[in-house]
Amino acid sequence: MKSAELIWLNGEFVPWEDAKVHVLTHALHYGTAVFEGIRAYETPRGPAVFRHREHLERLARSARFYYMELPYSIEELRAATHELIARNGLRSCYIRPIAWRGFGPMGLNPLDNPVEVAIAVWEWGAYLGEDGKRNGVRAKISSWRRISPESLIPHAKATGQYLNSVLAKIESLKAGYEEAILLDHRGMVCEGTGENVFIVRDGVIATPPRTASILEGINRASVIEIARDLGYELVERDIARAELLLADEVFLTGTAAELTPVRSIDDVEIGPPGPITRELQRVFDDALHGRDPRYERWLDPVPITSTTA
């Protein structure tokens, strides 16, 4: 991770090392924050943010789920992100907007604590490694189940909820794998620690539905659209655990991981990345970098300034 020079914090551009919060910030104690993971890519038109508005709309929805009123509009956050990328002189980057309950009354009622917002950008390569993108990663089915909709809100991207993924990630790494796949509260396939899951069998692509406690991934939606544009049959349905091991191909999608193949699960070989995974990966990568005119609408170009020119 290579840090940038500036962070946007509560409406101001501040030096990276000066972006601080109080030690009694409510979110630090109780996980009362929501966030997004977004990427900007270098394209023929310059830096462009991938599906920017959809990410910011999801941030606003997550905040609403947790009774947080964002003090900035989506358009204000969008403009701030553009300017932040330009001021830092980045051609491509990872973007982390986060809204949290700040310092105020201590206790489980957060409603009197102020809502604060920050946006950070930095250079960050493939989350599961460049080798993982090329050759696939080894995954483990976690003993930890994905949070139940009876307890929390799986559709919200809230910080406290990610303790669930942290446990699964550590378990998989300590066991010698690169990633974990979680089952939902019913024992059906749910998602990775930070990615959505797809399987391919007999030419048909399947992915768990919205009702399987998944986060509705924006890259997931993008790959679904690409797959259907390419003529593949794609179904959103419950997937049994054993289907992972019976699949011809398995891959993960997410903003950090982009599209990463899975080559084995629980030491059962799925095999090297298959032809459908490779085709989807190629077209998706073209969409991310502005090389496919069909998906130019997904790109939000950063206005050209003397910094970005």
Q: Which residues are known to be catalytic? A: 157
Sign of the alpha-carbon torsion through 51, 55, 60, 65: positive
The answer to whether the beta carbons of residues 219 and 254 sit under 8 Å apart is yes
User: Of 211, 176, 180, 210, whose CA–CA distance to 195 is shortest?
Assistant: 180
User: Of 178, 154, 158, whose CA–CA distance to 168 is shortest?
Assistant: 178
For residue 27, report the phi and psi dihedrals to the nearest 5 degrees: -65, -30
Helix intervals (H) in 137-253: 163-174, 218-229, 241-246
User: Of 86, 87, 84, whose CA–CA distance to 96 is shortest?
Assistant: 84
Which tokens go with 220? 């997931």
Strand 179-183 and strand 115-123: the pairing is unpaired
Mapped onto helix, strand or coil, the DSSP state of residue 44 is coil
